[in-house]
Structures are given as structure tokens and as C-alpha cells.
């Protein structure tokens, strides 16, 4: 019997996945030991989807890939259908619709068709209607609604490429021109006509609400307005263009301005821009409808040098107009789709930042002895020990002495962890990963160093597996190697704390009135006040400081 394959949950934080590569195609056979069907990109790594680990393929006589429902590179939520497997030639369509397999020998219930016929509303196929609904455009990244300031076309007007200014819309940031050329190809209608206006000037509606319909004359736009259903006789939609223009179109009356040279037609945006630039709008040649001045005309306007009037002899020579160079440039940008890792980072850190009542504790640590001890240890250590390794070891030891810091907030309870698993934040190309050094308090500095290097390499090469990133009880984030003196980190929930480690900086100290050179490192502990109080966090930092300032204690 055919079986649905869904997007698997391959990490504790995974909410959606991407098929990075299909390893099988429709019709390919599947058998035990050869169940790899795809590579899945999660929020932390690219992993193989092996059906052998999820089901017994030997239950099928001739198991095949019957259906693939997701293109390579597309993201879908966990548990979404991505494929169907089953025996060769088996029907599977009913699985996609949630029904049961069709059987020719099962007679239809006679009453059912009649009941449906009485209640169903006949739908109209709108695919052949040569018209299109125009919604309130989203003209800024923060725009939620817009106000229709002025209609620049009236019902029945023709709209053509290069002359598709439909209206002026007031957004949350400015009054802007709504140019259909920027949204659709008006040449697909012959001729393109404004068939319907659905909002009066001065009215405010939400983004995407219907404001107009365009299309070819005679198109049944009422079917579009009713969502594809047959329009009833009581429909209140405005009629298609009549001989008398609709009263809402008053573009010319609202845009005409008066100055010394007469009446000039210009958009409000063009007028405001000309005023800001100190330009007499009467001198600007309009390229809009009927010579109307638009924003682009003002942007490209270069004032002409006007000779001084000679009605009366000038007593002094007229000053030459100052030459103002015109600086031009080209705006550009590049956009990338948000990958799974960045989506998860954004979601989880936003949840933490806006749900946990955080506070911060900063402390300076003298690193003179730690620096000397590291030199000595590296003379005999099988792997090179870094300052970050020493920090991880000191954190692990301090957590055993302050278990409340090594805890989780679980909503209705607090969990005190008796094991110490240190998460080590690692920057990778696509974001941030946190591989885990397990039972760090029981490991030597050499063991921690070797494990940290191995996990860091796997993280950068996207080779981490779930066992490498799950279960951390406390996280260390170190930016000291990037020259950062001090910073704060966001808690990796459900943990209670995270330690931000800055770089070691040479500075001047004072002892007994004498100045001397010394090396200090600043650390900041971010605490969730629901589980850790200020005194608890401070006591943890004091122990951590003592361990690094007397590093021989790390070896005991």
C-alpha cells in the first residue's frame, strides 16, 4: 500500500526543511540498503534522508518512488508531503486529497448528487476573463494601509505602456504615484481600460484591498469582484464605463496650481519635490498625461541660465549665477532568500529576547597568570590549547559550584542540570552554530581543545549531526579573536545564561601607587531573571574569575 513521505524533523529546532538534492527520481526502485532518497538542508546542516531508518522497505514487493511533490531548493514546513512511495503502478492520488482509492465496482449513493446540486453555488471560470483586479499596492516596507489621494484616470480611460499613472496614494511615509507599469504589463489587454473604481478619493483601505479593475472593454469584471462566483442581480459593484464619467475622477481639478506664468498641471509629489529643491514648477516641462509634471520631470530638471532684465540700467554688473554641478548615481542592491539556518536564528533569538527578562553582569579578569600558564601547558600538550579552551574549562568547573546557573526555564518548572554540557558558539558563513562539548567539567584542557577544534571544523563544513548540537546546558560566545573588547549575547533558550567573552587587552594597572603593564579580559554574563538572580550570577562570575586568575586550579 502506498505511503506518504513527509519532511522529517531532523533537529530539535527545525521547523522547515529544504530538499538540497533528490537522490532518486519518480519510477526509481527502492530496496533495503538503498533507501537514500534526498539530501535535506536543515537549520544546522545538510543531512541525508534514508528511508531504511524510518520504515521497512521489504514490506513492498516492488517499491518505487511514485510521486515527488517538492522541487529541489524549495522550503516546506516539517511534516509536509514531499514524496510518495509504493508498489510499481499503484494508485496514490487519493493520498494527496485525503480520500480513499477509487473503486469502479462501488455504486455512488443516489441521494448525494441531488443534495449537492441543491446547495452548491455555480462557480464561474475566471481564467478567460480579460480583466484584472488591482489592489492597494504596498509602496513601503512598513505600509499597512493607504489613502487614495487623487485618481489620475477615470472609468473608461485607456491605459497604455508609458502612460499608466493610475492614482496618487498616501502611504505611511509619503504621497506617491501609483504607476501600473511598475506592477503589471498593461499591453496584455487590447486596449487596456479602467473598468471599475472601488474607492473614493480620501478613503483609506488596507494593503491588497480592491481599489480598481482594469482590462478590456466588456470584460465581466463583476465575476472577479465576487471571487469567481456568478454575480447576482443585487450586486453593488459599480457599472462598466458609461457616457457620463464617474464623479470620483477629478485629477485635473486637484493637481492644477497657479503661479505667475499661468496654470500648470502637476502631481502633489512633483510640487512638493520642486518646492524642496527651490524649482519654479512652471519652468518644468511635463511628460505625463496632457503635459502633466511628474516626479521624474522634477528630478531631471536642469534650470536654464536667465539673462538679467534690462528695463532699467543696472548700476552694477549682474552677478553670474553660481554653477552647481549635477551629481548622478545609480541605486543598486542585491537580495538573497533567507536560508533555514538564518530563519531559525531569527525565530529563536527573537523568542528569547522578547520573552526572557534579561540582565547583564560584566567583570574584568586579570589574564597575566593565564597567559603564562598557557605557554607552559602548550610545551607538553598534544594539541595547542587556546584561551577559549581555558574559558570553557573554567566555565564548566564554575557551573559545578553554582548549579542554579546550569539550569533551564521550562515554563511551569525549573530544571537544575547536574551534568555540564557547554555550547560553543561558532560563526559560519550562513550564520551561527552551537556545537556541544559534553561533560566538559570532567575533561582535561587537552581533551577540550581537541574536541573544540573537531566540532568547529565540522560546523564550518556543515558536517555536524544532531548529537553534536543537542543538549547544551550553558553557552559560551567568544568574539575576542575579532578584536571585540566587550559585548552582550542573547540567551540560547531554554538555558538560563550565556557568557560573552571579549579579547585580552594590554592596559595599565595601579598597585601600591605604582603603574604597571597588565592584561585584562572583559566578560559579560547574560542571565534570565526567572531562574537566576543577580547575587547568583555574581557568585558564578567570582568563581570563574578566580579560576582564570589562578589557572592551576583548572588542573585539579
The residue whose grid cell reads 473598468 is 195
- Cell numbers for 355, please give them: 520573552
Determine contact, residues 203/169, Cβ cutoff 8 Å: no
Q: Which amino acids are annotated catalytic? A: 529, 533
Cell numbers standing for residue 257: 496650481
134, three cell numbers: 488591482
Looking at residue 273, what DSSP letter applies? H
Record the cell numbers describing residue 80, joined without a space: 509536509
Q: Tell me how far apart the alpha carbons of residues 163 and 149 are, in angstroms, rounded to a whole number.
A: 19
Q: How many Å separate Cα 40 from the centre of its chain?
A: 20
C-beta atoms surrounding 435 within 10 Å = 25
Tell me the backbone φ, ψ of residue 547, rounded to 5 degrees.
-65, -40
Q: Which three cell numbers stand for residue 427?
A: 560563526
Q: How many helices (H) and strands (E) does the chain have?
A: 12, 27
φ, ψ of residue 358 in degrees (nearest 5): -85, 150
Report the candidate in 286, 267, 292, 271 with the shortest Cα–Cα distance to residue 167.
267
CB 496 within 8 A of CB 531: yes
Q: Hey, how many other C-beta atoms are within 10 angstroms of the C-beta on 380? A: 7
Q: Which of 139, 207, 208 is nearest to 173 (CA)?
A: 139
Name the nearest CA neighbour of 188 among 228, 219, 155: 219
| Residue 17 contacts residue 42 (beta carbons within 8 Å) | yes
What value does the CA radius of gyration of the chain take, rounded to a whole number of Å? 35
| Residues β-bridged to residue 465 | none
Is the bond preceding residue 203 a cis peptide, omega within 30 degrees?
A: no
Contacts of 351 (CB under 8 A, 6+ apart): 493
64 Cβ contact partners less than 8 Å away, ≥ 6 residues apart: 27, 28, 29, 30, 85, 86, 87, 88
Which DSSP state fits 495?
B
CB 501 within 8 A of CB 391: yes
Amino acid at each position: 500500500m502506498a505511503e506518504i513521505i513527509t519532511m522529517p524533523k531532523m533537529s530539535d529546532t527545525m521547523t522547515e526543511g529544504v530538499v538540497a538534492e533528490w537522490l532518486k527520481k519518480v519510477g526509481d526502485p527502492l530496496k533495503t540498503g538503498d533507501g537514500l532518497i534526498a539530501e535535506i538542508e536543515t537549520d544546522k546542516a545538510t543531512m541525508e534522508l534514508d528511508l531504511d531508518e524510518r520504515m521497512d522497505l521489504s514490506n513492498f514487493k516492488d517499491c518505487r518512488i511514485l510521486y515527488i511533490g517538492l522541487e529541489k531548493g524549495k522550503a516546506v514546513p516539517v511534516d509536509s508531503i514531499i514524496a510518495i512511495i509504493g508498489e510499481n503502478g499503484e494508485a496514490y492520488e487519493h493520498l494527496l486529497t485525503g480520500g480513499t482509492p477509487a473503486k469502479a465496482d462501488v455504486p455512488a449513493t443516489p441521494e448525494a448528487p441531488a443534495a449537492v446540486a441543491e446547495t452548491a453555488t455555480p462557480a464561474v471560470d475566471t481564467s478567460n476573463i480579460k480583466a484584472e483586479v488591482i489592489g492597494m499596492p504596498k509602496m513601503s516596507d512598513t505600509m499597512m494601509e493607504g489613502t487614495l489621494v487623487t485618481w489620475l484616470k477615470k472609468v473608461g480611460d485607456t491605459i497604455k505602456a508609458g502612460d499608466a499613472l493610475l492614482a496618487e496614494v498616501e502611504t505611511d511615509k509619503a504621497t506617491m504615484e501609483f504607476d501600473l507599469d511598475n506592477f503589471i504589463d498593461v499591453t496584455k489587454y487590447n486596449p487596456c481600460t479602467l473598468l471599475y473604481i472601488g474607492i473614493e478619493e480620501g478613503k483609506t483601505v488596507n494593503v491588497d484591498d480592491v481599489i480598481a479593475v482594469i482590462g478590456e472593454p466588456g470584460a465581466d469584471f463583476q465575476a472577479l469582484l465576487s471571487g469567481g462566483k456568478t454575480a447576482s442581480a443585487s450586486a453593488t459593484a459599480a457599472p462598466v464605463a458609461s457616457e457620463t464619467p464617474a464623479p470620483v475622477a477629478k485629477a485635473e481639478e486637484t493637481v492644477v496650481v497657479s503661479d505667475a506664468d499661468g496654470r500648470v498641471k502637476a502631481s502633489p509629489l512633483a510640487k512638493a519635490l520642486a518646492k524642496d529643491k527651490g524649482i519654479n514648477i512652471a519652468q518644468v516641462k511635463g511628460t505625463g498625461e496632457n503635459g502633466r509634471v511628474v516626479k521624474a520631470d522634477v528630478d531631471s530638471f536642469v534650470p536654464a541660465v536667465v539673462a538679467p532684465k534690462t528695463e532699467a540700467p543696472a548700476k552694477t554688473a549682474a552677478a553670474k549665477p553660481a554653477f552647481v554641478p549635477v551629481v548622478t548615481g545609480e541605486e543598486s542592491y542585491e537580495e538573497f532568500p533567507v536560508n533555514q539556518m538564518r530563519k531559525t536564528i531569527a525565530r529563536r533569538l527573537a523568542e528569547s529576547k522578547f520573552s526572557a527578562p534579561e540582565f547583564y553582569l560584566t567583570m574584568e579578569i586579570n589574564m597575566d597568570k593565564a597567559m603564562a600558564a598557557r605557554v607552559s601547558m602548550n610545551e607538553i600538550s598534544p594539541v595547542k590549547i587556546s584561551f577559549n579552551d581555558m574559558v570553557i574549562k573554567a566555565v564548566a568547573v564554575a557551573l559545578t559550584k553554582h548549579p542554579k546557573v546550569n539550569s533551564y526555564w521550562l515554563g511551569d518548572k525549573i530544571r537544575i542540570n547536574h551534568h555540564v554540557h557547554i555550547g560553543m558558539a561558532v560563526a559560519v558563513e550562513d550564520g551561527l552554530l552551537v556545537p556541544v562539548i559534553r561533560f566538559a567539567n570532567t575533561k582535561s584542557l587537552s581533551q577540550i581543545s581537541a574536541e573544540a577544534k573537531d566540532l568547529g571544523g565540522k560546523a564550518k563544513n556543515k558536517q555536524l549531526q544532531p548529537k553534536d548540537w543537542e543538549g547544551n546546558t550553558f553557552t559560551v560566545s567568544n568574539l575576542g579573536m575579532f578584536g571585540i573588547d566587550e559585548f552582550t549575547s542573547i540567551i540560547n533558550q531554554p538555558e538560563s545564561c550565556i557568557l560573552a567573552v571579549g579579547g585580552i587587552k594590554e592596559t595599565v594597572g595601579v598597585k601600591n601607587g605604582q603603574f604597571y603593564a597588565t592584561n585584562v579580559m572583559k566578560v559579560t554574563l547574560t542571565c534570565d531573571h526567572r531562574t537566576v538572580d543577580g547575587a547568583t550570577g555574581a557568585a558564578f562570575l567570582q568563581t570563574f574569575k578566580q579560576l582564570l586568575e589562578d589557572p592551576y586550579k583548572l588542573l585539579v
